[in-house]
Amino acid sequence: MICILILLSTAGCGKEKTQVSQPEKKTIEITDSMGRHLTVPYNPQRIVSVNSDVSEVICALGSQDKIVGVADTSKFPPLLKEKSKVGAAFTPNVERILELKPDIVFGYGKFLKPEIAQKIESAGIPVVYLDCYKIKTMGKDIKTLGSILNKEKQAKEYVDFFDKYLKEVSDKVKNIPEDKKVKVYIEGYTDYSTNASGSAAAEMLEYAGGKNIAASENKPYPTVSSEWVIAQNPQVIIKAASGSTVSGYGASDEGMKKLWEKIVSRTGWQQIQAVKDGRVYIISSEIYTGPRAPVGIFYFAKWMYPELFKDINPENINKEFLHRFYGLDAKGAWVYPSQH
């Protein structure tokens, strides 16, 4: 009898040991957009993001309450306007960042100044370079962010949604012969700054089936001359509206209209095919690259191949993104002219 009791007692102890909870996960190993292998806080409670695209994704994944500081240019979603501002995205104020006592800081891969990142890291705060603006690495970036934030399921949902629309547009344009592709000049935020191979906008144009007139340039963001654009004679011109041009969520199209008028009035541009045919377009920075780039890609495609995309309204895709991931109605101006 004594032996039986001892055995039962021992068995009970063994069962109890299997129920002991594992230590809470405190760190996670990741690879950032610069290829650095890092150990960073898992599920950080205080986040500073000087990358507006990462800030947008953090909100889409449902971790907006963890953000304590953002770059001055972070305006979407609207709740980011209430967060503490820490300066410019590429050259943020280190003192302001440290005052917020973040667990982690997110910045753009190639654009956050290394000396600034070093100062933050020397204070014991990890800096993670995540882009979240390039199409070809978007899925990886968002999943990495989801792993850090303990939002893997939400990250997968976003990436699946993003990829679904990329595939839809790619399938529609994949059979367009090279000699039938529409020639396009994309101008970035700065006058005559265009987008060649290696830039996010060039990737967008590639997905949309366009022919980039700057494709042969030897750096991602070359500056060209007005005469060069005239000589290339693009069939479509797409100009990105910078932060100084009011556009996007909650905005009217007045700012983009003024920018459009400025573009079509450039000296000598009246002889360009795109201007002659009324195929000059302004696109908001909110859908020009970044987490909602599929919306911009569908606009690109519709502007280039209106017949092929006559049954698709990119505005509806934007509405779906806004409602599903941000809980917002689509009120604002994202392109000009708004209907074509």
Q: Is 5 exposed, middle or buried (0-12, 13-18, 19+ CB in 10 A)?
A: exposed
C-alpha distances in Å from residue 184, one per residue of 12, 238, 254, 300: 74, 7, 24, 10
Residue by residue, DSSP assigns 297-318 as: HHHHHHHH-TTTTTT--HHHHH
Q: What digits encode the pLDDT tens for the residues 138-174?
A: 999 999 999 999 999 999 999 999 999 999 999 999 9
Kindly tell me the number of DSSP H helices and DSSP E strands found in the chain: 12, 14
Residue carrying the six token digits 């240019």: 73
Cα separation of 340 and 315, whole Å? 12
pLDDT in tens, 205-240: 999 999 999 999 999 999 999 999 999 999 999 999
- What is the bridge-based pairing of β-strands 37-41 and 27-31? antiparallel
- Is residue 112 located within the same domain as residue 216? no
Q: Crossing angle for the helix pair 200-208 and 293-304, nearest 10 degrees?
A: 50
Owner of token pair 């005559």: 192
83 and 36 within one domain? yes
The verdict on 298 and 180 lying in the same domain is yes
The pLDDT value recorded for residue 148 is: 98
Cis peptide before 294 (omega within 30 of 0): no
| Residue type for position 120 | I
Residue-wise pLDDT for 57-72, tens only, equals 999 999 999 999 999 9
Stretch 74-87: mean pLDDT, rounded? 94
Number of domains comprising the chain: 2
160 in any annotated domain? no
Q: d(Cα 105, Cα 85) in Å, to the nearest integer?
A: 13
Kindly state whether residue 7 falls inside one of the protein's structural domains: no
Mean pLDDT of 242-266: 93
Same domain, 38 and 123: yes
Task: State whether 201 and 118 are in the same domain.
Answer: no
Residues 287 and 239 in one domain: yes
Q: 2 pLDDT exceeds 80?
A: no
Same domain for 192 and 329, yes or no, is yes
Q: Report the pLDDT value the prediction gives residue 15, as an integer from 0 to 100.
A: 44
Distance CA 123, CA 126 (A): 9
- Same domain flag for 190 and 330: yes
120 part of a folded domain: yes
Measured CA distances, 133 to 239, 292, 293 (Å): 17, 9, 8
CA separation for the pair 44, 54 (Å, rounded):
15
Q: pLDDT band at 242, cuts 50/70/90?
A: confident
pLDDT for res 21:
57
CB distance 280 to 237 below 8 Å = yes
What pTM was computed for the model?
0.88
Contacts by residues 83-91 (CB-CB < 8 Å, ≥ 24 positions apart): 86/48, 86/50, 87/50, 88/50, 89/50, 89/51, 89/52, 91/116
Q: Would 161 be classed as within a structural domain?
A: no
For 279-320, what is each residue's pLDDT tens digit? 999 999 999 999 999 999 999 999 999 999 999 999 999 999
- On whether the CB atoms of residues 253 and 332 are closer than 8 A, the answer is no
Could you tell me if 304 and 220 are in contact, meaning their C-beta atoms sit under 8 angstroms apart?
A: no
Do 288 and 311 touch, CB atoms closer than 8 A?
Answer: no
Residues 297/321, Cβ–Cβ less than 8 Å:
no
For the chain, what's the residue count? Answer: 340
Question: How much is the average pLDDT of 265-288?
Answer: 97
Q: In whole angstroms, give the CA distance from residue 89 to residue 29.
A: 25
The reply to whether 190 falls in a domain is: yes
- Phi and psi dihedrals of 182, rounded to 5? -75, 135
How far apart CA 185 and CA 55 sit, in angstroms, is 29
The residues facing 193 across adjacent strands are: 223
Residue 14 falls inside a structural domain: no
The helix (H) or strand (E) run that includes residue 284 is strand 280-284
pLDDT tens sequence across 4-47: 444 444 444 444 444 555 567 899 999 999 999 999 999 999 99
Q: How many CB atoms lie within 10 A of CB 202?
A: 23
For the packed helices 52-60 and 314-326, what is the interaxial angle rounded to 10 degrees? 70
SS3 for 180? helix
On whether both 60 and 134 belong to a single domain, the answer is yes
135 and 283 both lie in a single domain: no
Residues 135 and 183 in one domain: no
> Which CATH number does the domain housing residue 269 bear?
3.40.50.1980
Last residue of a domain, one of 95, 117, 151: 151
- In a domain, residue 132? The reply is yes
Share of residues in the chain with pLDDT > 70 (%): 93
Domain containing residue 316: 176-336
Look at residue 167 and tell me if it is in a domain: no
Answer yes or no: do 124 and 248 share one domain: no
